[in-house]
């Protein structure tokens, strides 16, 4: 697994409360803020005196109130809230299926209250989400600094050429999936490759066909 920068998401569960719109308590003895009320009245009077069509409202007293996270409701929530909840829904689907089948993406989009295109936009933005079924064997090639200086790029190109796929893709026979990662935690064995959890260290491009053949035999 690698680490990626995640774009800032819209803040969810935050609501602005305009104190100017809150009903003023009517009970006797309730105190108000005379200074603020007087200033607002003065502004209104001043605007009227200047011939303005409408008076400027007093500056709102904004307060941020945290709300509990919940799923978006179609037709009610904002697109931003839907985009946040779609990530959680898609994660659940991928845990169950290993990738995101289209019918499930459509269902999640409906639950999140966003369009299918928006759901696919989120799914394709994050490398974590797989839109195609994973291959029988998953090859992860490290592209971290230690591996890079030891020739990881040439190794990756050799695997790409042997399999005819790019990182993030699966071979047409469904046998291999190819991924790149930032560091496998085996820097002392760089360049490193992991296939189905099995670690190969100090791998050279010449060894690639032999390693792949080993997994082809395990079909
Ligand atoms: S950089 Fe490749 S294993 Fe750490």
For the chain, 219 residues long, give each residue's pLDDT as a single digit of tens. 433 333 333 333 323 233 334 444 444 433 333 344 444 443 444 444 444 444 445 455 555 555 444 555 555 555 556 667 899 999 999 999 989 999 999 999 999 999 999 999 999 998 889 888 889 999 999 999 999 999 999 999 999 999 999 998 899 999 999 999 999 999 999 999 999 989 999 999 999 999 999 999 876
Compute the distance from residue 211 Cα to the ligand 1 centre, in Å.
19
Helix (H, G, I), strand (E, B) or coil at 195: strand
- Of 96, 125, 154, at which residue does a domain stop? 125
Q: Which of 141, 192, 200 to mutate to test the pocket of ligand 1 (most atoms within 8 A of CB)?
A: 192
69 within domain boundaries = no
Tell me which residue has tokens 């090859």.
139
141 within domain boundaries = yes
Any atom of ligand 1 within 6 Å of the Cβ of 181:
no
Instruction: Check whether residue 115 and residue 175 sit in a common domain.
Output: no
For residue 199, give every residue at least 6 positions away whose Cβ sits within 8 Å of its Cβ, in sequence order, or none: 184, 186, 189, 192, 193
Q: Where are the alpha helices (DSSP H) in the chain?
A: 34-49, 79-97, 102-112, 116-125, 145-149, 152-163, 208-217
Compute the distance from residue 65 Cα to the ligand 1 centre, in Å.
44
When divided into structural domains, the chain yields a total of: 2
44 within domain boundaries = no
Compute the distance from residue 164 Cα to the ligand 1 centre, in Å.
24
104 within domain boundaries = yes
Helix (H, G, I), strand (E, B) or coil at 65: strand
Q: Which of 140, 144, 181, 203 to mutate to test the pocket of ligand 1 (most atoms within 8 A of CB)?
A: 144
Instruction: Check whether residue 111 and residue 179 sit in a common domain.
Output: no
Instruction: Check whether residue 159 and residue 112 sit in a common domain.
Output: no
To the question of pTM greater than 0.75 for the whole model, the response is: no
169 within domain boundaries = yes
Instruction: Check whether residue 98 and residue 152 sit in a common domain.
Output: no
Instruction: Check whether residue 181 and residue 109 sit in a common domain.
Output: no
Query: Going edge to edge, which strands form the sheet with 198-200?
Result: 176-181, 137-142, 193-195, 198-200
The domain that holds 156 is classified in CATH as 3.40.30.10
Q: Give me the domain span that covers residue 112.
A: 79-125
Instruction: Check whether residue 110 and residue 155 sit in a common domain.
Output: no
pLDDT in the model for residue 71: 55
120 within domain boundaries = yes
Compute the distance from residue 8 Cα to the ligand 1 centre, in Å.
27
- Of 58, 90, 125, at which residue does a domain stop? 125
Any atom of ligand 1 within 6 Å of the Cβ of 184:
yes
CA dist 65 and 16 (Å) reads 7
105 within domain boundaries = yes
Compute the distance from residue 204 Cα to the ligand 1 centre, in Å.
15
- Of 100, 125, 150, at which residue does a domain stop? 125
Cα dihedral: 190, 194, 199, 203 (round 10): -40
170 within domain boundaries = yes
Instruction: Check whether residue 145 and residue 187 sit in a common domain.
Output: yes
For residue 48, give every residue at least 6 positions away whose Cβ sits within 8 Å of its Cβ, in sequence order, or none: 55
């Amino acid at each position: 697994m690698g680490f990626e920068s995640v774009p800032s998401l819209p803040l969810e569960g935050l609501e602005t409360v305009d104190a100017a719109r809150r009903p003023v308590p009517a009970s006797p003895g309730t105190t108000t803020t005379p200074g603020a009320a007087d200033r607002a009245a003065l502004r209104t009077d001043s605007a009227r005196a200047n011939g303005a069509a409408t008076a400027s409202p007093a500056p709102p007293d904004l307060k941020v109130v945290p709300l509990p996270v919940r799923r978006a409701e179609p037709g009610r929530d904002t697109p931003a809230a839907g985009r946040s909840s779609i990530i959680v829904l898609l994660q659940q689907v991928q845990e169950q299926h290993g990738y995101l089948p289209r019918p499930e993406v459509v269902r999640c989009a409906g639950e999140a209250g966003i369009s299918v295109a928006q759901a696919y936009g989120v799914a394709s933005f994050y490398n974590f989400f797989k839109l195609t079924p994973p291959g029988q064997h998953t090859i992860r090639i490290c592209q971290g600094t230690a591996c890079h200086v030891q020739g990881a790029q040439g190794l990756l190109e050799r695997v790409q050429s042997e399999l005819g796929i790019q990182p993030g893709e699966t071979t047409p026979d469904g046998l291999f999936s190819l991924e790149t990662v930032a560091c496998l935690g085996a820097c002392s064995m760089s360049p490193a490759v992991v296939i189905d959890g099995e670690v190969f260290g100090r791998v050279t491009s010449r060894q690639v066909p032999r390693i792949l053949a080993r997994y082809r035999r395990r079909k």
